[in-house]
Structure 1
Amino acid sequence: MRLGKIDYLNLLPFDVFIKRFPLSWQSKAILAHRKSYPAKLNRDFLFARLDGGFLSSIMAYGKRGMRLPCGIISHGEVWSVLALPKEAKGDYQSASSNALIQVLRIHAEVLIGDRALIYKLKGGEAIDLGKRWLEQKRLPFVFGLFCVSKNKHEAKRIASAFVRSRIRIPWYLLKDASDSRGIHPKDVLSYLQKISYRLGPKEKRGLEVFYRELLFLGIRSPKRFERRRDAISSKSL
């Protein structure tokens, strides 16, 4: 099975989990190789270069059958999805967050992932989109989803085991992640406390509310969203 993974700190617990999970060495090798930012993995999935993995939640918009009960979720502040007080501009690494800022009616620059986390920890001025979503909707926000196009039984086995597991991150992996990104280990652990992975009833409700808002905006697919985002960016120049 060809799985991809968002190469951000928010999936460090999944890295630890998958190393111990009974999966073929070929699948683990592909997963280790297919690490990138969300928008890149979305394209690989659309063009069938991947069978699944952690993708932007917008990828499952209108396609219930491909999503599994596992995602990248915030219940308020997320620290790594920000709106900067700059000219309106999407983040090339993003898909869901570029749509979210439209839903929230915020005119600013989107910054996501480890770059956003570093910006936040340095005290940069920004609106935390996870916090703003909770303030407006009183629901969690699902930034990413574990999605598949085939081998759903095997993928569901992985996702179900992951959300049930209690992950303890070994010090050497925590230190490696810390050193490679220039973030103190304590800040890494504080950040991971902002993230959850189980897609329960409230999380599913938050996801459906997000999809409903996309429908109101006329965003019906990832491809249409990319065209709309490009049009908005060109108008703001």
Structure 2
Amino acid sequence: MRFGKIQYLNLIPFDVFLKSYPIPTRYKSAAFANRSYPSKLNQSFLFHRIDAGFISTIAGATAHRKHKATQAGIIAKGAVWSVLSLESSFANGDSALLKKHRLSPSASLVLGSHSLESTFEKVDSRVDCHATAHAAARNDNKTAQSKNADSSPQAQSPQKDYQSDTSNALSTVLNLHGRVLIGDRALQYRFNGGKAIDMGQVWWEKHRLPFVFGRLCYNSYGEFYNNIARAFVKKRVKIPHYILQARAKACGIPPHYIREYLAHIHYHIHAKERVGLERFYRALRLKAIKPPSRIYPRNVDSSKCTPNTPYKRQL
């Protein structure tokens, strides 16, 4: 049996649970062998290179439809801390959320005034006042048209995270246009004081429903994985101190901060979580967002992509 697991801090409880679960050691070894970031595991799942795993919600749409998804998932009811939109703004002028997240809708007007001043400075002083006014008005009109084009949803598509599929789609669904950052890198960014919008929080404010970021899905051995999922969501897992210390050292995040982070996540898909899933799938259809395909992005060298590489801000 081939199992794939997301190599993020949010699945530490599942690691601890699986070590104590009564299955042969060879199965446990298989479960810990295939670890990577979500988009890579999605490809492995679609190609049937793994029998089961925690798959991104968007990639698990077919499994959901075919009833090949368990009731175990990675869920947040509000802020999740590890799915962020950096330097983001909202489309279509959602004034309430703009005010709440301190995003200024007048930024484009300020930029427009600066560009207008620069236009006047470049006008030849020898031209008479009427010609100057006409040229300035024409240039200002072009500037306004270009800014309107840049502010359209098509022009400001979110900058995607190569490790993500669901969060990239969620950013589009929520009309966010900033850089998407997920997983341990996002948690490191937040811990170091980085400013960003928490997508889990925005989803909750819009829909008042939990969001399922990933789900335990399977291609085969359905009964076996359903039993594991049922046992996992029923058990309250206590993380040993030595495991927490080891993961904290590897990620550069204090243990107490990891505990606070895990308190924002739960794993049992109930009725409200299922409603949230259907709401998200409906939004994908309305936005014409396609689920990931079997074609892996050619511009990404997967051998150099590690799940816990810290995010480096581009200057």
TM-score, normalised on structure 1? Answer: 0.92
Partners in 2 of 1:20 and 1:177 — Cα distance?
A: 19
Q: Could you tell me how far 1:33 is from its partner in structure 2?
A: 1.2
Partners in 1 of 2:39 and 2:60 — Cα distance?
A: 13
Q: Could you tell me how far 1:224 is from its partner in structure 2?
A: 9.6
- For residue 293 of structure 2, give the secondary structure of its aligned residue in structure 1: helix
Partners in 1 of 2:275 and 2:62 — Cα distance?
A: 14
Residue 227 of structure 2 corresponds to 157
**Aligned partners of 2:46 and 2:294 also within 8 Å:** no
Partners in 1 of 2:72 and 2:63 — Cα distance?
A: 15
Residue 78 of structure 1 corresponds to 80
**Aligned partners of 1:4 and 1:52 also within 8 Å:** yes
Residue 39 of structure 2 corresponds to 39
Question: Which amino acid in the other structure matches residue 20 of structure 2?
Answer: R
Quickly say closer, same or farther: Cα 1:197–1:77, change in 2 above 3 A: same
- For residue 5 of structure 2, give the secondary structure of its aligned residue in structure 1: strand
Residue 69 of structure 1 corresponds to 71
Residue 166 of structure 1 corresponds to 236
User: Highest CA radius of gyration, 1 or 2?
Assistant: 2
Partners in 1 of 2:72 and 2:272 — Cα distance?
A: 13
Q: Could you tell me how far 1:66 is from its partner in structure 2?
A: 1.6
C-alpha RMSD of matched pairs (Å): 1.7
Residue 60 of structure 2 corresponds to 60
Quickly say closer, same or farther: Cα 1:16–1:138, change in 2 above 3 A: same
Residue 275 of structure 2 corresponds to 205
**Aligned partners of 2:46 and 2:293 also within 8 Å:** no
**Aligned partners of 1:101 and 1:107 also within 8 Å:** yes
Question: Which amino acid in the other structure matches residue 80 of structure 1?
Answer: S
**Aligned partners of 1:80 and 1:116 also within 8 Å:** yes
Tell me the number of residue pairs that the alignment of Structure 1 and Structure 2 aligns.
227
Indicate the larger mover: 218-227 or 24-33. Answer: 218-227
Residue 110 of structure 1 corresponds to 180
- For residue 213 of structure 2, give the secondary structure of its aligned residue in structure 1: strand
Q: Could you tell me how far 1:59 is from its partner in structure 2?
A: 1.6
**Aligned partners of 1:219 and 1:225 also within 8 Å:** no
**Aligned partners of 1:52 and 1:146 also within 8 Å:** yes
Residue correspondence of structure 1 range 216-235 to structure 2 within 5 A: 216-223=286-293
**Aligned partners of 1:139 and 1:205 also within 8 Å:** yes
Quickly say closer, same or farther: Cα 1:224–1:139, change in 2 above 3 A: farther
Partners in 1 of 2:63 and 2:209 — Cα distance?
A: 21
- For residue 145 of structure 1, give the secondary structure of its aligned residue in structure 2: strand
Question: Which structure is richer in relative contact order (CA contacts within 8 A, separation 6 or more)?
Answer: 2
Question: Which amino acid in the other structure matches residue 50 of structure 2?
Answer: L
Partners in 2 of 1:28 and 1:58 — Cα distance?
A: 27
**Aligned partners of 2:4 and 2:53 also within 8 Å:** yes
Residue 230 of structure 1 corresponds to none
Residue 23 of structure 1 corresponds to 23
* Percent of matched pairs sharing the same residue: 47
Residue 101 of structure 1 corresponds to 171
Quickly say closer, same or farther: Cα 1:182–1:136, change in 2 above 3 A: same
Q: Where in structure 1 are there 5+ consecutive unaligned residues?
A: 228-237
Q: Could you tell me how far 1:220 is from its partner in structure 2?
A: 4.1
Partners in 2 of 1:69 and 1:91 — Cα distance?
A: 27
Question: Which amino acid in the other structure matches residue 159 of structure 2?
Answer: K
Partners in 2 of 1:130 and 1:54 — Cα distance?
A: 18
Residue 313 of structure 2 corresponds to none
Render the CA deviation track for 1:142-169: whole Å, top value 9, x for unaligned.
Answer: 0000000110000000000000001111
Quickly say closer, same or farther: Cα 1:226–1:130, change in 2 above 3 A: farther
- For residue 201 of structure 2, give the secondary structure of its aligned residue in structure 1: helix
**Aligned partners of 2:63 and 2:217 also within 8 Å:** no
- For residue 223 of structure 1, give the secondary structure of its aligned residue in structure 2: coil
**Aligned partners of 1:99 and 1:225 also within 8 Å:** no
